[in-house]
Chains A and B, each alone.
Chain A
Amino acid sequence: DAGVTQSPTHLIKTRGQQVTLRCSPKSGHDTVSWYQQALGQGPQFIFQYYEEEERQRGNFPDRFSGHQFPNYSSELNVNALLLGDSALYLCASSFSQRPTDTQYFGPGTRLTVL
């Protein structure tokens, strides 16, 4: 049983560019949440997708957007990249019918903005 997978592992972009990160949830999970983890900090919630819609959103600008596909996989898009967007981006999956169950995390994508 594959856990949560994310791609790519690392990414280097320049300011102003756009980036797309991908996440495949754990088998049986239908909800995907994205977190941003800056260096030396704890993860911060960006948004959550369920039934192909954004259900909840943290305090992040509209430059951060996402998408969920019918197979429950998800993308995180960031436009007009800033230096401050450099971080580890974590994806977590869960099952909507058992919301108190543990969320499982992927290994993350390390984004560096130059």
Chain B
Amino acid sequence: AQTVTQSQPEMSVQEAETVTLSCTYDTSENNYYLFWYKQPPSRQMILVIRQEAYKQQNATENRFSVNFQKAAKSFSLKISDSQLGDTAMYFCAFMKQPYPGNTPLVFGKGTRLSVIA
């Protein structure tokens, strides 16, 4: 079974600064997908960024980027130029290669990020 660990229950960052959220996972799979989801107080789970394990290049989406270390089974999220709207719970999630059909997501316990003005 896969497990996802987020070791930082809470973090805070000053507006416009950079923050990194940590995530480690355990799996025996070779092909899989990793995700960071954001859940603001509105509760809607929103995809921030995704990474395919077969890709060596780290994914980036505007101010969001990841540091994917497959051998270390580490998948951290870096948020640059933090904005007040980034305040939310952030969840790291794992999905093994679908075969066949869709496979469920395995989530960590989350990191609560507060951006301070």
Binding site for B on A (CB under 8 A): 31, 33, 35, 40-45, 48, 50, 55-56, 58, 88, 90, 92, 94, 96, 99-100, 102-108, 110
Q: What 3 A-B pairs come out closest when comparing CB atoms?
A: A42-B107, A99-B98, A105-B45
What does DSSP make chain A's interface, helix, strand, loop or mixed?
strand
Q: Residue of B at shortest CB range from A104?
A: B47
Question: Which chain B residues border A88 with CB–CB below 8 Å?
Answer: 43
What does DSSP make chain B's interface, helix, strand, loop or mixed?
loop
Partner among B44, B97, B101, B105 whose Cβ is within 8 Å of the Cβ of A50: B101
**Pairwise interchain contact A107-B108, C-beta atoms closer than 8 A:** no
B103 at the interface (CB under 8 A from A): yes
**Pairwise interchain contact A45-B106, C-beta atoms closer than 8 A:** yes
Partner among B97, B101, B109 whose Cβ is within 8 Å of the Cβ of A42: B109
Q: Residue of B at shortest CB range from A102?
A: B47
Question: Which chain B residues border A105 with CB–CB below 8 Å?
Answer: 37, 44-46
Question: Which chain B residues border A42 with CB–CB below 8 Å?
Answer: 4, 91, 93, 107-110
A107 to B46, CA, bound (A): 10
Question: Which chain A residues border B101 with CB–CB below 8 Å?
Answer: 31, 50, 55, 96, 99
A42 to B42, CA, bound (A): 16
Interface residues on B, range: 20 to 34
If A45-B104, A58-B104, A102-B50 are given as contacts, then 16 extra A-B residue pairs at C-beta distance below 8 Å, sorted by A number, are: A33-B105, A35-B105, A40-B109, A43-B45, A43-B91, A48-B102, A92-B105, A100-B98, A102-B35, A103-B102, A105-B44, A106-B44, A107-B42, A107-B43, A108-B44, A110-B43
Partner among A35, A40, A44, A50 whose Cβ is within 8 Å of the Cβ of B102: A50
Question: Which chain A residues border B64 with CB–CB below 8 Å?
Answer: none
Contact with A along B39-56 (1 / 0, CB 8 A): 000111111001010000
